[in-house]
Structure 1
Amino acid sequence: MPVAGVITVYRKNSHADVIIGKILEGWAQDGGLGPDLKLASLYVDQIEKNDLSETLSKKHGFVIAKTIREAITLGTDSPSVAGVLAIGEHGNYPHVPETQQTMYPRRRFFDEIAATFKQCGKVVPVFNDKHLSYSWSDAKHMYDTARELRIPFMAGSSIPVAWRAPSATIPIGSEVTEAIALGYGGLEAYGFHSLESMQCLMERRKGGETGVKSVQSVKGDSIWQAEKDGRWSRALFDAVVEASPTPYNGTRPRPKEMAKDAVFYLIDYRDGTKATIAMGTGFSHDFVCGVSIKGQEKPFAVTYALQEGPPFGHFEHLLRAIEHMVHSGKPAYPVERTLLTTGILDFALHSLADNNRRLETPQLAVEYQPAEWPWAKGSPPTG
């Protein structure tokens, strides 16, 4: 089925390459089998010196569109594709001065896609890579617009569909009391992945998702004060660290002390459940999440495993979910998961910029039920 790509940049190993490249050249990006999708057109917001889009257009025969509308309609009065992949990741974009969030044009992309649908009187499914926006208000606008126009809408990280060790999840209806996730890398770009690693478990707790009532970021001595105040459990944290691989695939010993620049995102859910994203601790270079469940002595802990080099096979499993939506017209899992993680992240970064102030978040009363969608089985390819 034909799809359009609306992207920021197309360079080797960019998100556009590791997602759209699998449509063009197969799951392993080696000319082999791939999804039942065909790239009809591509809108590229920024052409870099190492851009691949022109070369790939000549090789595979897709149109390089000058506008987002043209990418969707191919110059006609109606969408000429069965789905749109909006990938606003990488490229040269400004940052929010206070928080240093990258101002990727994800809302602009979505607004132009939605405007085209409205003008044409027809919608097709849309996938938005990663968080909906750096801004909660923009994300909520995108979500509300999709609901209003009845656009099948999906978004998010590849982490929930990546390989897992152990290959398991928690049962739907589990009485979760607390969750702690370890994250590494940039506070926004990778903090989002860590949030999704946690939320794909948290949404399965008893009653489903009810939303978040407050968010606070802490660092330095405030991390240990938060532990004393009962905001996070040292026993659960230690269990998660113990369950995680040692840094850099076991090539480095685990440090004895937490990194001085670690940041904890403290999250209070509306139903009383608490959660923590522990960023940059130095204890692991993987996304790991642990969950305490009422009546169980040991917490459930899972490591999300990635293929760290080309073709970055975890994106295959994200694309399989996108392929399902394009063919069925139904998202593989709820966009509300990413609406909520987008909001948590935005408030966490604003809390950090505002002297670690605890922020009440009545806006994040996002309620939804989880869906059953498979993650990658086995382990990541090597070599």
Structure 2
Amino acid sequence: MTRSPGTPLPPPKARRRLREAASLTQAQLADRMGVTRATVRTWESGRTTPRGRRREAYAELLKTLAEEESAAAEPAAVPVVVAVRTGPGSPAEDAESLVLPAKALPAEERQEDEPEPEPAPEPVALTPAQAFDALYEFGTPALVRQTFLLTGRRELARESVERAFQTAWENWPEVARDRDPVGWVRAVAYEYALSPWQRFRPRNRHPEPPPADPGDRTLLNTLLRLPPRHRRTLLLYDGVGLDLPETAAETEASTPATANRLLNARRAMADRLPELADPEVLHRRLAEVASNERLRAAKPPTVRVGSERRARFWTRAAIAFTAALIGTTALTLRTAPTHYEPPVSPGETVRGVPPKVAPGALSDEELELRQKLRDQMQDGPERLTPRLE
């Protein structure tokens, strides 16, 4: 049996355009479809597509929005009264009114007070810095709260998000073309926050003040007792609102493994806090705990300047390391020997050979000869001229 193809859907950009043309927010569209706002965002970004009955309902809703948009785009028929006089002797000798649509009349015969349609504003191209600032302002508050739930540390959450955005600015062309730029930054922030090297930092060795509310404190402690992978899976699925394939892709795991992690995390949360067994209640409580904390981040220009400064630092460090390596290599080539010198073997004692005897005292004749040699001139023509003694 062959499966019939699903109901065709417009492209992702057209889905978002139809929703915005109907003045609907993602939350309102999610209420109509019975899904979360994050699911609608993934549909409009093209990362996922609905299936089954939900796909048919989504296609029907988009079709209705398209029809409403086309009906609103058609020019309304403005009634214009045109006087048409009949010939003499006609029973309708007076003026007779005919209602005609305004679009059937020439332009010069329209009423002067009819407003001309305003041209659609042209899209304004943003500079990379402006686009980055807009993304930072949009995604930072939620990402800082999510990272706080992931680590339980306010300063680490702020630093992780800022470092992730600095990395995004360094790779801005790639991030700008990504289907979900916020998801790109979120993955980098989570990886930095959950890095095992964070435990060796001095300021992370001491605990931070817990939340003031006892319920929030209990929920956060229970969440932090989960393994990092289970905690991240639970936060992405029940906190952020991603579906299972998206959660698996972001955590770099298979879908069955992600499902097992999610079930184990939910079971551990329900064992300690039975009132959180319902995923909807868990989602609401996670949002409440994160919203009760006052978490702030730096301004976008500060993050961009920090990213550029860090890039310059590492560039200069790489140049200095390369120069040092080249200098060391040149010095080695300069001082290295050019030929092979065999090593001198250590001395050995030979048996049966008497040791060398040191010279004794000089005799009188030897002393006289030595004195004679010292008194004579050592150079000059006198030494070459023989003479009789």
Q: What TM-score results when the alignment is normalised by the length of structure 2? A: 0.22
Structure richer in helix, relative to its length: 2
Higher radius of gyration, 1 or 2: 2
Q: Which of the pair has the greater relative contact order for Cα pairs under 8 Å at 6+ separation?
A: 1
The structure whose residues are more often strand, as a share, is 1
